[in-house]
């Protein structure tokens, strides 16, 4: 056997690589994170954190830190304007679903926080844990799965090469990482349907936003169309617009030219613009044919790329990390069989497929409001010298804009993920349901040790069995079935007070098993004469070993 330098090698310190290291750290599993750049990428891209991501961050104890860096709740407007300071063509006010419903379904809210800040919070948390090592300025140039070990070649500053041996590797190297291609893992889907430039700048736009804080402004004019996103509700903004790679290159967009374009997009020649960085990205909708080759796993944008219409890229990646990390930890710590690792792809890939479909649907629908190839045509009609033509286009937009509501918030898409079903991976969230096996439990405020907590707060870095008030038989059975597996047991009315409600759907004598990632792994609604066997089979099924049971 080759000596192992690290149990898990993680390629890339983007949000997904750092989240993977953090969850492994919660399980006490060391990892080595290698990032080719010298630090956290300061160029913000993502900003929307869905309900599920905020629930996960709450579980990790990081949600409050994110909220400290997020825009305030008053930044709730999505606007369509001719220019940033120009005429309003329509608006959608967030959230798009009633606050009452949202408060009922989750203890958290969808939030907008710049990606670089999320990454810094994750990096600080990883450092504070002290379990993972993060090496910046270190590129992984090759990975090779040898069965019981993954060999990787590192290139450090000054072109110094080094080899590392890991038990497992997670490629979280984003959409442009090269290792996935080196492993000959194909991507299925639409490789490209447009290119975008993303300019990160600082500016004081308060004279327009003070009275009308706009998180996102779509700009419909012929000179400088695109979208502007407020990254911190203060001075940090991005301006995003399409370009044609056949006729121009990113290098054509100098800082001075971008500043000029931004002034035109704002509609004010005098506003001071401080361009920080210029990025580019390819609009694609692609999913890796396989999420695993040997002991190497893909996560985040390395595994799936969506158009940003829906804001699901980073969110899906963080949930990938949440899924793969406890499985790697269980396998490495010896309490789960290797078969558990094969459930990563079968659980996460259908979610990526659904999120890709949702994002593409949004992108196509947004075409009627000027996203993509229609921008120029719509802007020209709005600027037409023919007053009737311009007015007709304004009237059409006024009708089309409200139809985009689903794009800006879908509770089902955000928290309705169901693992292990043969049908749709996303289920509708009904306010009064009791959750389904494979999904997350429903949220209810309950009392535990005198404290008000959410049902979602009961998860630990192990399994949680929750038994009904008369379900003690399940408790004894679980202690037997879960020998060697980290776990806790909670009994309703003894350990938690649900106020007479049955949020887990277990009645008086049943029980529910919550996995380390907070998904329901199994449930019984009544007593059973074979409870130890039932629970052993449930664990086998969760561990992907059920096919071994004769
Ligand atoms: C304009 C825009 C807006 C977006 N908005 C949203 C949004 O609102 N919500 C959302 O969820 N998503 C959004 N996204 C998508 C989101 O930015 C990505 O999904 C997210 O960055 C993916 O994270 P990741 O960790 O998988 O990859 P990345 O963030 O790309 O990180 C990968 C890291 O790996 C490093 N790396 C690559 N190769 C190597 C190597 N060989 N060795 C070492 N290091 C390597 C890279 O330097 C990089 O730091 C948006 C994207 C764009 C472009």
- Ligand 1: which of 47, 313, 315 to mutate, most ligand atoms within 8 Å of CB? 313
CATH number assigned to the domain comprising residue 524: 3.40.30.120
Q: What is the dihedral of CA 233, 104, 459, 502, to 10 degrees?
A: 180
Tell whether 478 is covered by a domain: yes
Span 487-517, pLDDT tens digits:
999 999 999 999 999 999 999 999 999 999 9
Mean predicted confidence (pLDDT) in 295-304? 98
Structural domains of the chain, count: 1
CA of 314 to the centre of ligand 1 (A): 7
Secondary element (H or E) of residue 33? strand 31-35
Taken as a whole, the chain contains a residue count of 550
- Confidence class for position 548, pLDDT limits 50, 70, 90: very low
User: Which ligand 1 atom sits nearest the alpha carbon of residue 316?
Assistant: 11
Which two three-digit tokens encode residue 33? 């994170």
pLDDT at 431 over 80: no
The response to whether residue 503 sits with its C-beta less than 6 Å from ligand 1 reads: no
pLDDT of residue 1: 52
The response to whether residue 309 sits with its C-beta less than 6 Å from ligand 1 reads: no
Could you give the CA distance from residue 17 to residue 299 in angstroms, rounded to a whole number?
A: 8
User: Which ligand 1 atom sits nearest the alpha carbon of residue 305?
Assistant: 19
Q: Count CB atoms within 10 A of the CB of residue 279.
A: 16
CA of 67 to the centre of ligand 1 (A): 21
Query: DSSP E strands: which ranges in 203-330?
Result: 214-219, 226-230, 236-243, 274-282, 285-288, 292-293, 296-298, 304-305
User: Which ligand 1 atom sits nearest the alpha carbon of residue 41?
Assistant: 49
Span 329-357, pLDDT tens digits:
999 999 999 999 999 999 999 999 999 99
Instruction: Determine if residue 148 is left, alpha or beta; phi over 0 gives left, psi from -120 to 50 gives alpha, anything else beta.
Output: alpha
Which two three-digit tokens encode residue 73? 């709740």
Tell whether 80 is covered by a domain: no
Task: Name the burial class of residue 499, with classes exposed (0-12), middle (13-18) and buried (19+) by CB atoms within 10 angstroms of its CB.
Answer: exposed
Tell whether 255 is covered by a domain: no
Task: Give the single-character DSSP code of 341.
Answer: G
- Higher per-residue pLDDT: 370 or 217: 217
The response to whether residue 63 sits with its C-beta less than 6 Å from ligand 1 reads: no
Tell whether 18 is covered by a domain: no
- How does the average pLDDT of the chain come out, rounded? 95
The response to whether residue 199 sits with its C-beta less than 6 Å from ligand 1 reads: no
Could you give the CA distance from residue 39 to residue 41 in angstroms, rounded to a whole number?
A: 6
Tell whether 520 is covered by a domain: yes
Tell whether 504 is covered by a domain: yes
Tell whether 538 is covered by a domain: yes
Report the candidate in 347, 362, 336 with the shortest Cα–Cα distance to residue 303.
347
The response to whether residue 45 sits with its C-beta less than 6 Å from ligand 1 reads: yes
Report the candidate in 500, 497, 514 with the shortest Cα–Cα distance to residue 453.
497
Secondary element (H or E) of residue 139? strand 139-145
Span 181-212, pLDDT tens digits:
999 999 999 999 889 999 999 999 999 999 99
- What are the C-alpha distances in Å from 507 to residues 4, 268, 431, 463? 48, 63, 18, 20
Mean predicted confidence (pLDDT) in 375-397? 97
Query: DSSP E strands: which ranges in 299-450?
Result: 304-305, 445-448
The response to whether residue 46 sits with its C-beta less than 6 Å from ligand 1 reads: yes
CA 393 to chain centre: 36
Mean predicted confidence (pLDDT) in 385-410? 94
Span 73-89, pLDDT tens digits:
899 999 999 999 999 99
SS3 for 239?
strand
- Confidence class for position 2, pLDDT limits 50, 70, 90: low
Span 117-172, pLDDT tens digits:
999 999 999 999 999 999 999 999 999 999 999 999 999 987 889 999 999 999 99
Mean predicted confidence (pLDDT) in 444-468? 97
Tell whether 450 is covered by a domain: yes
Q: Which residue(s) pair with 151 in the sheet?
A: 144, 165
pLDDT at 547 over 90: no
- What are the C-alpha distances in Å from 335 to residues 3, 41, 503? 22, 36, 29
Contact assessment for residue 151 and residue 125, using Cβ atoms and an 8 Å cutoff: no
Contact assessment for residue 327 and residue 320, using Cβ atoms and an 8 Å cutoff: no
The response to whether residue 330 sits with its C-beta less than 6 Å from ligand 1 reads: no
The response to whether residue 314 sits with its C-beta less than 6 Å from ligand 1 reads: yes
User: Which ligand 1 atom sits nearest the alpha carbon of residue 139?
Assistant: 42
Alpha carbon distance, N-terminus to C-terminus of the chain: 33
Could you give the CA distance from residue 444 to residue 218 in angstroms, rounded to a whole number?
A: 37
For residue 535, the enclosing domain spans 445-548
């Amino acid at each position: 056997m080759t000596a192992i330098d690290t149990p898990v090698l993680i390629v890339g310190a983007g949000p997904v690589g750092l989240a993977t290291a953090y969850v492994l750290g919660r399980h006490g599993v060391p990892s080595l994170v290698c990032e080719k750049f010298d630090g956290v990428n300061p160029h913000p891209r993502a900003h929307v954190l869905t309900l599920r991501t905020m629930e996960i961050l709450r579980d990790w104890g990081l949600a409050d830190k994110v909220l400290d860096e997020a825009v305030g709740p008053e930044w709730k407007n999505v606007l369509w304007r001719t220019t940033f300071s120009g005429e309003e063509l329509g608006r959608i006010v967030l959230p798009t679903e009633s606050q009452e419903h949202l408060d009922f379904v989750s203890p958290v809210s969808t939030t907008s926080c710049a990606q670089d800040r999320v990454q810094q919070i994750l990096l600080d948390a990883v450092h504070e844990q002290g379990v993972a090592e993060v090496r910046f300025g270190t590129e992984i140039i090759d990975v090779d799965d040898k069965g019981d070990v993954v060999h990787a070649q590192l290139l450090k500053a000054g072109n110094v090469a080094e080899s590392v041996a890991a038990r497992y590797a997670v490629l979280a190297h984003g959409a442009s990482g090269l290792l996935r291609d080196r492993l000959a893992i194909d991507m299925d889907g639409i490789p490209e349907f447009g290119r975008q430039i993303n300019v990160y700048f600082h500016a004081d736009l308060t004279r327009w936003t003070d009275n009308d804080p706009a998180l996102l402004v779509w700009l419909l004019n012929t000179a400088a169309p695109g979208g502007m996103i407020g990254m911190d509700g203060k001075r940090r903004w991005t301006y995003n617009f399409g370009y044609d790679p056949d006729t121009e290159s990113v290098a054509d967009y100098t800082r001075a030219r971008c500043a000029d374009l931004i002034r035109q997009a704002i509609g004010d020649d005098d506003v001071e613009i401080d361009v920080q960085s210029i990025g580019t990205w390819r609009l694609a909708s692609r999913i890796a044919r396989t999420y695993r080759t040997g002991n190497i796993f893909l996560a985040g944008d390395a595994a799936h790329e969506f158009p940003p219409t829906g804001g699901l890229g980073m969110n899906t990646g963080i949930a990938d990390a949440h899924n793969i990390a406890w499985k790697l930890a269980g396998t490495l710590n010896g309490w789960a069989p290797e078969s558990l690792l094969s459930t990563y792809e079968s659980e996460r890939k259908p979610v990526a497929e659904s999120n890709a479909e949702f994002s593409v649907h949004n992108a196509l629908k947004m075409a009627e409001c000027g996203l993509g190839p229609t921008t120029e045509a719509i802007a020209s009609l709005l600027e037409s010298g023919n007053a009737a033509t311009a007015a007709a286009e304004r009237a059409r937009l006024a009708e089309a804009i409200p139809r985009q509501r689903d794009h800006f918030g879908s509770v089902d898409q955000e928290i309705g993920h169901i693992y292990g079903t043969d049908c749709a991976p996303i289920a509708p969230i009904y306010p009064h349901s009791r959750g389904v096996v494979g999904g997350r439990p429903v949220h209810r405020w309950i009392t535990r040790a005198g404290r008000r907590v959410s049902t979602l707060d009961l998860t630990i870095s192990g399994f949680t069995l929750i038994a009904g008030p008369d379900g003690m038989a399940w408790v004894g059975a679980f202690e037997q079935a879960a020998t060697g597996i980290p776990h806790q047991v909670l009994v309703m009315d003894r350990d938690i007070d649900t106020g007479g409600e049955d949020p887990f759907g277990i009645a008086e004598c049943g029980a529910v098993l919550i996995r380390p990632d907070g998904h329901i792994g199994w449930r019984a609604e009544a007593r059973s004469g074979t409870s130890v066997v039932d629970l052993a089979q449930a664990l086998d099924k969760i561990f992907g070993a059920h096919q071994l049971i004769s």
